[in-house]
């Protein structure tokens, strides 16, 4: 089972997002492999370079 989560531009540009996601995964004992982040097109188009950098940090 994979849990997919849509990220908005606001979510994506939250510098604490990687730490928040890690804490949630640990709290709920969900392996990272069962978690899929989906980035909306508008989030990418607002600032593509920043979106790429933040998504890379969340790996």
Q: What is the pLDDT of residues 8-35, one digit of tens each?
A: 878 878 889 989 999 999 999 999 999 8
Domain count of the fold of the chain: 1
> From CA 30, how far away is CA 50, in angstroms rounded?
27
Which residue carries 């920043």 as its tokens? 50
> From CA 56, how far away is CA 20, in angstroms rounded?
15
Indicate the pTM of the whole model: 0.62
The helix (run of H) or strand (run of E) holding residue 22 is helix 17-27
pLDDT value at position 24? 92
Which of the pair, 48 or 28, is modelled with greater confidence? 28
Residue 58 pLDDT > 60, yes or no?
no
Residue 57 pLDDT > 70, yes or no?
no
Residue 37 pLDDT > 90, yes or no?
no
Range of the domain at 33: 3-57
């Amino acid at each position: 089972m994979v849990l997919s989560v849509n990220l908005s531009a606001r979510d994506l540009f939250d510098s604490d997002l990687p730490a928040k996601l890690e804490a949630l995964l640990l709290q709920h004992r969900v392996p990272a492999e069962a978690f899929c982040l989906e980035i909306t097109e508008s989030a990418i188009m607002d600032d593509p370079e920043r979106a790429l950098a933040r998504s890379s940090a969340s790996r």
